[in-house]
Structure formats: structure tokens, C-alpha cells
Amino acid sequence: MNIRSKHVAKKTALVVANEVVLYVSGLSLAWNLSKALYGTGLELRQQKALEWVEMIRDNPKIFSEQLLEQEDFQDGFVFTLEKYIAERNQDKRIIIQKIFTGFAGSEQRVQFELERLLNTTSIISVDAINLLAYIDKNIIPEMQADYKEHNGQIIQKLSMKVQDHLGDKKGEEYETNQLRDTVAELITLGIFRSWTESYNTIGGGGSSLEYNLTIYGTHFLHYIR
């Protein structure tokens, strides 16, 4: 494709995005606000902009005209679109779409942690996302089954389950130092809460780092599924 053809293709993407916006009643104000603030960025990343407005169009049950006309939604739209067009990783852009859909469907949008969730998505590593996905698919169902089996009379530690699944003796999927670094990252991001437990042995004693999901971590986990 030559330079002229590329230019035409890019122009076409933004033209189509504008046509989609005209088709979706109530979206024009939020879109025009975004163009006023990020016009150059939208010009340079038109395909991502088109993906974004097509997501709105394709989910009319969530993005109703009444919702699109509300100021808090419009502010969230503008903020999130900036994050979306700047994000290089396609999987993360899907997470951003899910977060925004969750924001749009929330009855408490003012309290919804949109900015925090989006900032976490921007800086979290792919390794951390993969670990959370593994935990969600393989470990949390096991913990829920244990909890049910013991009628809730059980103290559970996510750290113990992760060690059982991915620790030194189990593990080729996660190299030990990588796993430790990823856990440290998730603690820093507020997805895990950690504490230290001391223990005694015949030869002396020691301590271990334990962790569980925070409330915020559980919320974030929902959007990587």
C-alpha cells in the first residue's frame, strides 16, 4: 500500500467512525468533546477510534440514549477513549472495553473506580495478567469448593494455593523468581494484600509472605475474564 492509499484508508476509518456516531443517538456530544481534546490522536489512531465507537453501537442495551446524554458518562467516555487509543496491547484494549462497559452499566458511576482500573490496566505487566487469569481459572474455583466443603469454617490463603500450583516443586509454567516478582507487582498495584507470618521449626524459625486478593483485586479480576 502506497502513502496515498494509507492516507485514504486512515481517512476512511475516521469518516466511518463519524458516521457511526451519527447513527447512535446521544453519542455526538461525548464524541465531539473527545475530538476537541484529542483530535490529533484520533487522526493518527483512527482504527482504534473506530473500534471504540463500534463497541458503543453494538451494545445498545448498555449504551442507551439516556445514558449517553448524561454528563458523568460523557466525562468517563472522554477519559477512557484517551487511554484506549494510547494502548499498544490488543488484549489490554479488550480489558479497557470491559471496564468501560462495567462503568456504563453501573448504578453508582460516581463511585466506580474507572480511573484506577484504567491506570492499573496501563501499567500492569502481561505476566501479571497471565497469573491473574490462571488464578481465576484454576485456583479460585478450588478455593470456593474448599470453602463450601468446610461450610465456611476454613481460613484460606491464596498464597498457599499459588505455591501448591506453581511453586518450586510443581513448576515449569512459572519460573520461581518470575513468580515472586509478579506477586510483588500485584501487591504494589493493590490487587493483593500481603502480610508476614512467623513460624517455628526444630532448628529455629522463620517467616513467610502470605497474600490474598483485595476487594479491589477481586473487582479488577472481573475484567480480565
Sequence ranges of the domains in the chain: 3-123, 126-222
Going by pLDDT thresholds of 50, 70 and 90, the confidence category of residue 1 is: very low
Q: Which three cell numbers stand for residue 146?
A: 474448599
Fold of 126-222: Arc Repressor Mutant, subunit A (1.10.10)
pLDDT of residue 8: 42
Residues with Cβ within 8 Å of 62's Cβ and at least 6 positions away in sequence, in order, are 101, 104, 105
48 — pLDDT class (breaks 50, 70, 90)? very high
User: 210 and 157 in contact (C-beta within 8 Å)?
Assistant: yes
Q: Is the pLDDT of residue 125 over 90?
A: yes
pLDDT 10s digits, 112-121? 999 999 999 9
* Confidence class for position 175, pLDDT limits 50, 70, 90: confident
Q: How far apart are CA 191 and CA 212, in angstroms?
A: 9
Give me the pLDDT at residue 173, please. 54
